[in-house]
Structures are given as structure tokens and as C-alpha cells.
Structure 1
């Protein structure tokens, strides 16, 4: 039986992982770390209320459990907040990863870590980045995630880095929204929304990302892998497809350009992923945003 710690078990990916791994309790013994109370709506795993930015407590709990795998889903991901609160961003996105890698080395655990397309500048002509492309983050968030990757690539531990883009989905008692839920809610309330048409992404269904974590674990995959849908769309097109799939009025969606937004942190213009390595080495074949969206719609009913 594999012992697994999930940091950030209350979050979107954390809960999706719980739901996936707890389907096989003979194979996986799961421990969830999060701040405050267990918000997952599940009682069938070991929940530990923990502030992972407390180094001694974090390392003690991990050593007590002696996990085979640690899946780190905890991060500060609000891009503009990271720009304003650099110290808090560094603590959660870089320093905690350093502590996790140190304790993983000590107990010989495999660390699975989530990274982002925002480590790139979005200047690549076709927009599909490979794992080996040179990073050049535009925002402090992107820089913090790049630093967290470097912690692992410079360590002597077994690690998997899963880079992902614009994750969406729904879990129990969610504290934060995501693009699909937000667009859906606004259109259901018949509110007009403005969406950028000059930023391009390949969004990721959270259940795909959870499955990629499980595959990485089962295969003991080492290194960096891209996880996202397979077709680059403008954020405006993403919103249009949400309207289409949920039978909502797409005329309420108005296109705008990034320059009118006045965001604190700069965003890359075009970031999608080349999934060749993921297909080949993980045997995982993500689909188009529309196909994933239809699956998500089904899961809601």
C-alpha cells in the first residue's frame, strides 16, 4: 500500500485527488494537509490541520507518516496578489517546496509538484511550449514557480513536475472560483462580461490533472511533464465555448484587449503546451477543451 500526503487537500486539485485516490483504498493510504478544518466533505482519509509555512511542524508531520509520495498542490496562484505580496508568494511557492524536498530526501519520498505556463513569456510564435523550452517569466508568480522547479531540478530526490494551465472544475465547499464557473455564473445571471481576445491558453480540467498525478505516481515518472487540453484558444473563445456547452447567451460576452485591463502583473500572450512527451512517456492523451467541458457538464448534473 502506498502512503500519500496531499498538501492543500482542501483546494480544487487537492480534493479532486482525494476523490480519485480514495476509490482504491487497498492501494492508497491518503493523508491530507490543509489549514483550518477539513472542507472536502469526506471523512474517509487522515486529515491533518496544518499551516505548511511552519517548517518544524511540517517536517515533523511528514516524518511521522513516512509517506512514499508527497503531492504538493498548495500554492499562492493569484497572479496579481503575488506581485503585491512577494514575501508571502516566495514563502509558499518556493521556501515550502525547499522544505518538502529536504524532508523527501531524508525519508526517501517521491515529490510531485505542480507548476505553470506562466514560467514562459508567451512570445513563442505558435504558442505550444515543450518541457525543454527556455523559461522567461513576466510576473513574480511565474518567477516563484520557476524557482520552485529549480529547487527540485537541483535536488537529489525523485521528483515529478507537472506544468499546467488555467485549471478549472468544481469540488465541495469551494473557496475560490475559476474561469469556467465564473463565466457560467455571470451568463446564468444574464450579466454582460468582457473577456480578453489577445491572450491564448490550453485550459486544464482538474480531473485530468489529478489523473496525471496518479499516473506519475504509479509509473514513478521522473522529470517535467506538460498537462493541459490539446488545442490553443483565445480566452474569448474559451468563454464562447462555455456559453455554447451550457446553452447560455454568448452575445453577453464582449471581447477586449489586454492593454485595457490595467492588471498589476503582466501576463504572457500565448501559452499552450506541446503534449508529445506526456503522450509518449505517461501514456496520457488529453483532449480538447470542448470535450473536457462536456465531461465537466455531465459531472455537474
Structure 2
């Protein structure tokens, strides 16, 4: 039996880089690993750190480049879609681009052409922003009523996948935080940013009335690896939507307070304000904390408590 071919779409982003590193460094080396990128191939230090990977330039709006993956490597067993326009304001400013990238029509079309061994498993990263944000601890079967274009595009993606593909795991992720990946990313990392602004000692505003369940990046990776193992073990009937968040419901103020406590900063620099007092140019849901009991029960993964994850992140600096 050959190795499992895993294709990570959007492999040069924050989660994608962490996932590729984990896949490539597993002791028994059970995977052939390919990834897609859009504009720039990661630099040589990336490949030096992780090892041999197959890289493919792909345009997700048109699907150009996807056929070269299967022409070179054959049919993938698992496709993990980490690619998205995930900055809410960017989605608001260009809704057509947000829809074109975030609703994976060309990807599904490509994956639907495989019939030799049945359809691959699609693991698709969605978001907690599919929820309206009017209550605490949303469950997967609660109504999705997004308040901004980013959330709406992700709802459209979920609906499209469920209607047009047979094997999928949709992961509604909260804020993903953790250490830097093997090479720098353009994205601002939340804990590193909080640490940076608090270290200046200057007063900085944080929202006290916007709640999330931030998740440690290695927990998200473990969820994905567990789903791949489940698929490989013969469970070919995966059709599941999972809340993928940490165990703690925290406000932005509470996030800052944890960093401040662990680093020994003066917490008086943390100014508590209402989210309503700031115009960010895009609607933001107030409370999209999630009930994560389903993923815990299905995969046996207990997400890292927020304070512990922040400690691990700061220690890695």
C-alpha cells in the first residue's frame, strides 16, 4: 500500500505552514505531501526546515494549476483547504473577490473528477464568523447568520460543499494563535501583537464586549491529523461540521490580561472599551464563542486552555 497523498491548499499561510511541518515530521513518514501557493514560492529555508514537498502554483479563482497536481502525483487522498481571504475588512471592500476565493467552486470541480478510488476527503477551514454573535457557546446546528461579508462568504462555502461534494469535514475555527511558523508570514499574529503593544507600556484599548474561543494552532493541526487518520482507517463516510475553538470564552481585554500577567507587564496600560466605540469599517459579531464538545467527543482531542497556549506561544519567541 502506497503513501497517503495529502494536498494542502494555501500551504504558505500561517496554519498551512504549521500543518505542513507536522505532516512532514511524523515519525513513520506516512504521507506524500503537496501544497499550493498563489503568488510566491516559499524561500529555500522553508524546504530546508521541512524536507521534500511538492509545490504547485494555483489560482483558486479559476482553478488554473490544479490539474498539474493530479497529472504529476495522481489522485489525492485528502485535500485540506486553508486558503481564504480572511481579513473581514478586505472582504467587505471586495465582496466579489471574497466570494471567488472563499467559495471553493474550482477546487470542488477538480476533486469531483476523481473516481478511481472514490472521492477524496475535503477538510475545509471555515470560521466562527458564520454565527451572528448574539449568544454564547454556539453549537454546530445553530443557525448561521453572518453579519459581515467574510462570514457570509464562508456560509456560502459551507453550503456549496455540503450540496456538491460527498466527503467533507468543515472546521469552524476561532482565532488561531501560537508560535511563528518555520518562516515568517505577513499576517499579524494575535498574541505576538498583544505582547508587542503591551511591552511599550503605552495605554492601549481592548474590547471588553467581544468574545471568542481562541484556539492554539497545534490543536487545529491535531484535529486535521486526526481526521486524516480516521479517513485512512477506513471511515469513508465523513460528512461533518465541527466547531474548532479553545475551551475558554475570552474577551479581547481578557486576552490582553493573560499576556500581561505572564510577561509581568503593568496591566494599567490595558484600557477596556466597548467594541461599539470603534468604527472598523465592517460589522463584527459580539459573542461567537463556541461549544466544542462535538470535536472533543468525535476525535478525543481536548483543546489547550488559553493561558497554557499563550504561555507556550511566549516561550517560543
Shorter-chain TM-score tier = over 0.9
Counterpart residue number, 1:178: 189
Counterpart residue number, 2:34: 31
Cα shift at 1:230: 0.7
List alignment gaps of at least 5 residues for structure 2: 232-237
Cα shift at 1:296: 2.0
* TM-score, with structure 1 as normaliser: 0.93
Cα shift at 1:278: 0.7
Report the Cα distance in structure 1 between the residues aligned to 2:99 and 2:67, rounded to whole angstroms: 18
Counterpart residue number, 2:234: none
Q: For 1:194, what is the secondary structure of its paired residue?
A: strand
Cα shift at 1:63: 4.9
* TM-score, with structure 2 as normaliser: 0.89
Number of corresponding residues: 296
Deviations 1:2-52, CA, capped at 9 Å, x for gaps: 111111111110000011111126201111111212147224212223333
Counterpart residue number, 2:88: 79
Deviations 1:104-145, CA, capped at 9 Å, x for gaps: 222221111001111111112xx1011111111000100000
Structure 2 matches for 1:113-132, cutoff 5 A?
113-124=124-135, 127-132=136-141
Cα shift at 1:226: 1.2
Contact 1:116–1:142 (8 Å) recurs in 2:
yes
Q: How large is the Cα RMSD of the aligned pairs?
A: 1.6
Report the Cα distance in structure 2 between the residues aligned to 1:191 and 1:175, rounded to whole angstroms: 25
Structure 2 matches for 1:131-146, cutoff 5 A?
131-146=140-155
Structure 2 matches for 1:213-252, cutoff 5 A?
213-220=224-231, 221-252=238-269
Deviations 1:161-184, CA, capped at 9 Å, x for gaps: 011111112212111112211111
Report the Cα distance in structure 1 between the residues aligned to 2:262 and 2:224, rounded to whole angstroms: 27
Contact 2:216–2:304 (8 Å) recurs in 1:
no
Deviations 1:46-84, CA, capped at 9 Å, x for gaps: 222333333232244345432111101010011011111
C-alpha change, 1:63 and 1:132, in structure 2 (3 Å) is: farther
Report the Cα distance in structure 2 between the residues aligned to 1:202 and 1:242, rounded to whole angstroms: 16
